[in-house]
């Protein structure tokens, strides 16, 4: 089995938008800025809610949790604003032939 999973064409994902997809049984948030695509586990590490229900701040490359306002960097999963203290998992992404592929988890920061 390939370590990368095809989740569809780049054009399926709105530019400067975020969508939730299920990849290998896990809910992931997919964030697109132009030709760049980022993937984070969609569950906030503070309490249980989906980050894609919050706000995507394209300028700062951050997602803000809808419940208590923690912010995570979408490229690394690092916490930028409390109350969350643990990073969310970020996943490798590659774009080939106009398709988006999700790979293994990146090293946590």
Judged by beta carbon, residue 82 or residue 95, the one nearer ligand FES is 82
Other CB atoms closer than 10 Å to residue 53's CB: what's the count? 15
**β-sheet bridge partners, residue 17:** 32
What's the min distance (Å) between Cβ of 68 and ligand FES? 3
Query: Which residues here bind ligand FES, judged by CB under 6 A?
Result: 44, 46-47, 49, 65, 67-68, 70, 83-84
Helix (H) or strand (E) holding 105: strand 99-105
- Contact status, residue 72 vs residue 79, Cβ threshold 8 Å: yes
Closer of 37 and 44 to ligand FES (Cβ)? 44
CB of 64 to ligand FES, least distance (A): 9
């Amino acid at each position: 089995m390939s370590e990368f999973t095809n989740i569809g064409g780049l054009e399926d994902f709105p530019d400067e938008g975020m969508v939730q997809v299920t990849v290998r049984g896990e809910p992931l948030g997919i964030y697109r800025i132009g030709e760049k695509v980022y993937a984070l586990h969609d569950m906030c590490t503070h309490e249980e809610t989906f980050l894609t229900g919050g706000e995507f701040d394209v300028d700062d490359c951050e997602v803000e949790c809808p419940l208590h306002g923690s912010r995570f960097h979408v490229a690394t999963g690092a916490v930028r604003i409390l109350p969350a203290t643990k990073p969310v998992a970020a996943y490798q992404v590659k774009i080939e032939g106009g398709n988006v592929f999700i790979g293994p988890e990146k090293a946590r920061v």
